[in-house]
Amino acid sequence: MLSASAGRILSIVMRALILVTLGMIASSCGSAGSSDDIPAGSQSSVAPTGTPEPQTLELSVTDAMFSTDVLEADAGRPIIVAFSNEDSIVHNFQLWRDDSREEKLFFGELLDGPGTIEYEIGALEPGTYRFECHPHVATMFGHLIVAEPEP
Ligand SMILES: [Cu+2]
């Protein structure tokens, strides 16, 4: 019903965006060598396949405390949490959809002592998610803020 036509409109919009993007790439190639080129650094952020680049968020634990209580990430890009346990007791990273703690999205392998691990969270929609250490939910928690990347 409504969702079907909304989906059709969305796919038309997506196709138009892809065409516009291709047009921009084509025109930037055409002007190669001119002084007002896009800086080289910004070109590498556009993967040729359209696959979004992963982003790595660093999080460590010392004295049963996370290194931060706010993590930030871009929407739509796979998230990797580079987790480091610097304690001799067990910690991990788990993620809830929000503070209601009704929908758990990720449960990270427990690290029983010092060590590092990369948790592959996947891409998320914009929102304010809640992260915790499973054995210490009452004292070890924070928020992961996912937002649309700056244009
Ligand atoms: Cu813990």
Domains in the chain with CATH codes: 2-43 (no CATH), 55-147 (2.60.40.420)
Rounded distance from Cα 28 to ligand 1 centre (Å): 49
Rounded distance from Cα 15 to ligand 1 centre (Å): 46
What is this structure's pTM? 0.67
Q: Which residue has the tokens 């990720």?
A: 106
pLDDT digits (tens, 9 = 90+) for 83-109: 999 999 999 999 999 999 999 999 999
Between vectors from CA 117 to CA 97 and to CA 96, what angle results, nearest 5°?
A: 10
Rounded distance from Cα 136 to ligand 1 centre (Å): 5
pLDDT digits (tens, 9 = 90+) for 27-55: 444 434 444 554 544 445 555 567 899 99
Rounded distance from Cα 121 to ligand 1 centre (Å): 18
Q: What are phi and psi of 30, to 5 degrees?
A: -65, -30
